[in-house]
């Protein structure tokens, strides 16, 4: 197994690179696209650009720290000093790894914030003169209150996240430094790199903790809603699964008792009821179509109850008029109504046992038509009565 120095020397000899003499007050800069490293945080970084590989290898050979600096536009392949932010994190190289697929990875541990003053020209990689930014150590009741609030928010967010390692929760619970807590929370937060860079550039501890708390509060709302939706979905799924299991058990019990399939018996009863309802042909065709669809549906389907209610409604409609309501006033389309009146009807005209149909108030000479739409999807069933005063 090769050491980090052996890997670095082998890679340098393979590429023909020679060590570069650097000033003592300089810092090797590694530009990154979408990663912001914070002090006190250990993070792996993948490097693919030749300049970044050469910078990491020289830093590893000379045991020098490096500066992890975010570039403004991630699409820029070869960033210049104008393409980079001005606040970076001084980090120690913990490990240099060359993967079998020839990709290079470094494991860095953030140490301190630093501001880039200027870049040295004529170097094969980025080298800058920096000003280290000391971490504020002031304490006040406001900072203590913000610390407790931020710690509570971070612990709640970790508990809402699925499959969170217990070591991460223990790290937040054991942190006693307000600055370290803010940096640790920002490092694990799901926000944009530009927003993390803004927090990295905020030196004032109270303002930094306020920004972190605001971002964390927004993420907490999302996590709470996500957790609530997940619990409701799981509860609904469990209820449907429970109903399906109970129905399957009930069907199994009925088969063992010799009672047959309950669904088949129900379909047979509905088929017989549709035949007895004396529907018009088009309405009966629609009802049988819905019955076949209902027969194929599983009992746990949400639409099964709606289809069953629709079939019951179609069956219970008064498709055939009662026999007592069918009077002699039934005329065809091109046929005049029959004005002949029986003797009983003539007697009824005098008030002796008249047919109820003849005791109606006088109407004007016009045809009266009643239309009843019995089903929404099926055909309209129309019944008409026409009469004129004799």
* One domain, residues 100 and 210: no
Residue found by looking up tokens 């940096």 in the block: 183
Is the same domain home to 90 and 177? Answer: no
- Average pLDDT of the residues of the chain: 79
pLDDT (0 to 100) of residue 13: 45
Give 260-279 pLDDT, tens digit per residue.
556 777 888 889 898 888 88
Q: Is the pLDDT of residue 339 over 60?
A: no
Same domain, 101 and 149: no
Q: Tell me which range, 183-192, 233-242, 332-341, 351-360, is most confidently predicted by mean pLDDT.
A: 183-192
Mean pLDDT of the 302-323 span? 81
CA distance 79 to 99: 25
H or E segment and range at residue 252 = helix 205-256
Question: Which range among 25-34, 116-125, 297-306, 338-347 shows the weakest confidence by mean pLDDT?
Answer: 338-347
Residue 366's pLDDT is 46
* Angstrom distance (rounded) from CA 125 to CA 17: 12
Range of lowest pLDDT (14-18, 32-36, 211-215): 14-18
pLDDT of 3 > 90? The answer is no
Q: How far apart are CA 265 and CA 360, in angstroms?
A: 48
Name residue, tokens 């629609």: 286
> 114: which strand partners?
88, 132
Two tokens, residue 273? 């009821």
Pick from 108, 128, 114, 94: nearest CA to 22: 128
Q: Is 67 exposed, middle or buried (0-12, 13-18, 19+ CB in 10 A)?
A: buried
Let me know if residue 99 belongs to a domain.
yes
In this structure, what token pair is assigned to residue 9? 């020397």
The two three-digit tokens of residue 138, written as one number: 């002031």
Residue 384 has pLDDT above 90, yes or no: no
| pLDDT category of residue 350 using cuts at 50, 70 and 90 | very low
Concatenated DSSP letters of 51-96: HHHHHHHHHHHHT--EEEEEBS-TT-SS--GGGB-SEEEEEEEEEE
- State mean pLDDT over 215-235: 86
| Confidence band, pLDDT 50/70/90 cuts, at residue 346 | very low
| pLDDT digit string, tens, across residues 199-214 | 999 999 999 999 999 9
Contact, 272 vs 311, CB < 8 A? no
The answer on 117 and 154 residing in a single domain is no
CA 224, CA 160: separation in Å to the nearest integer?
A: 7
The answer to the question of residue 181 being in a domain is yes
Q: Which of 14-23, 112-121, 152-161, 342-351 has the lowest mean pLDDT?
A: 342-351
Encode pLDDT of 64-74 as tens digits. Answer: 999 999 999 99
CATH classification of the domain holding 210: 1.20.58.1480
Question: Is 150 within a domain?
Answer: yes
* 105 and 23 in a common domain: yes
Task: Please compute the mean of the pLDDT values over residues 282-302 and round it to a whole number.
Answer: 83
What's 92's domain CATH number? Answer: 2.30.130.40
Q: Residue 258 pLDDT more than 70?
A: no
CA distance 164 to 157: 10
The reply to whether 183 and 207 lie within a common domain is yes
In a domain, 151, yes or no: yes
Backbone dihedral angles phi then psi of residue 250, each to the nearest 5 degrees: -65, -40
Q: At what angle do helices 281-296 and 262-276 cross, to 10 degrees?
A: 180
Looking at residue 65, its pLDDT comes to 94
Interval 226-244 mean pLDDT: 77
- DSSP letter, residue 161: S
pLDDT confidence tier of residue 255, bands split at 50, 70 and 90: low
What is the pLDDT averaged over residues 113-140?
91
Q: Give the model's pLDDT for residue 154.
A: 92
Indicate whether 65 and 179 sit together in one domain. no
Same domain, 69 and 145: no
Of 137, 143, 141, 138, the closest CA to residue 207 belongs to: 143
Which has the higher per-residue pLDDT, 126 or 382?
126
For 295-360, the DSSP string reads HHS-TT-TTHHHHHHHHHHHHHS--SPPGGG--S----TTSPPP----HHHHHHHTTSS--GGGSP
**Is the same domain home to 116 and 167?**
no
Rounded distance between C-alpha atoms, residue 281 and residue 285, angstroms: 6
- The predicted pLDDT at position 18 comes to 65
Confidence (pLDDT) at 295: 82
Task: Among 253, 286, 316, give the residue marking a domain's end.
Answer: 316
Question: Does position 259 have pLDDT exceeding 70, yes or no?
Answer: no
Please report whether residue 256 resides in a domain: no
167 and 108 belong to one structural domain: no
Domain count, the chain: 3
Res. 356 pLDDT band, cuts 50 70 90: very low
Is 376 inside any structural domain? no
Give domain status of residue 347, yes or no: no
Residue 113: pLDDT over 90:
yes
C-alpha span between 180 and 189 (Å, rounded): 14
Q: Domain check: are 186 and 266 in the same one?
A: no
- Give me the mean pLDDT over the 81-92 stretch: 94
Dist CA 388 CA 372 (whole Å): 22
Note whether 212 and 277 are same-domain residues: no
For 13-25, what is the mean pLDDT? 64
Residue 261's pLDDT is 59
- The answer to whether residue 360 sits within a structural domain is no
Residue showing tokens 């944009």: 192
The range of the structural domain enclosing residue 300 comes to 262-316
For residue 56, is pLDDT > 90? yes
- Identify the H or E element spanning 28: strand 26-32
Query: Is the pLDDT reported for residue 352 higher than 80?
Result: no
Task: Give pLDDT, residue 243.
Answer: 72
């Amino acid at each position: 197994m090769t050491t980090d120095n052996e890997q670095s020397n082998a890679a340098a000899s393979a590429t023909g690179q020679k060590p570069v003499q650097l000033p003592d007050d300089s810092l090797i800069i590694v530009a990154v696209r979408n990663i912001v490293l914070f002090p006190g945080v250990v993070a792996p970084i993948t490097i693919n650009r030749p300049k970044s590989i050469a910078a990491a290898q020289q830093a590893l050979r000379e045991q020098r720290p490096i500066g992890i600096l975010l570039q403004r536009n991630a699409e820029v392949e070869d960033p210049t000093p104008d393409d980079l932010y001005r606040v970076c994190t001084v980090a120690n190289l913990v490990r240099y790894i060359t993967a079998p697929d020839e990709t290079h990875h470094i494991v860095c541990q953030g140490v301190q914030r630093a501001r880039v003053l200027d870049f040295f020209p004529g170097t094969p990689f980025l080298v800058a003169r920096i000003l280290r930014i000391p971490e504020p150590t002031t304490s006040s009741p406001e900072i203590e209150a913000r610390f407790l609030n931020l710690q509570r928010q971070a612990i709640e967010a970790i508990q809402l996240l699925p499959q969170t390692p217990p070591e991460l929760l223990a790290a937040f619970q054991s942190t006693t430094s307000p600055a370290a807590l803010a940096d640790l929370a920002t490092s694990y937060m799901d926000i944009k790199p530009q927003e993390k860079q803004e927090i990295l550039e905020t030196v004032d501890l109270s303002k930094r903790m306020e920004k972190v708390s605001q971002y964390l509060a927004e993420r907490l709302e999302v996590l709470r809603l996500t957790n609530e939706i997940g619990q409701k979905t799981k509860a609904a799924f469990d209820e449907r699964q429970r109903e399906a299991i109970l129905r399957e058990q009930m069907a199994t019990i009925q088969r063992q008792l010799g009672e047959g399939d309950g669904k088949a018996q129900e379909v047979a009863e509905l088929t017989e009821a549709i035949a007895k309802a004396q529907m018009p042909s088009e309405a009966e065709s629609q009802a049988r179509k819905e019955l076949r669809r209902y027969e194929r549906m599983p009992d746990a389907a949400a639409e099964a109850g709606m289809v069953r209610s629709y079939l019951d409604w179609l069956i219970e409609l008064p498709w055939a008029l009662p026999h007592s309501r069918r009077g002699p006033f039934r005329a065809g389309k091109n046929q005049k109504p029959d004005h002949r009146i029986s003797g009983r009807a003539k007697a009824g005209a005098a008030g002796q046992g008249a047919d109820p149909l003849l005791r109606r108030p006088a109407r004007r000479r016009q045809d009266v038509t009643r239309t009843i739409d019995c089903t929404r999807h099926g055909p309209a069933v129309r019944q008409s009565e026409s009469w004129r005063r004799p």
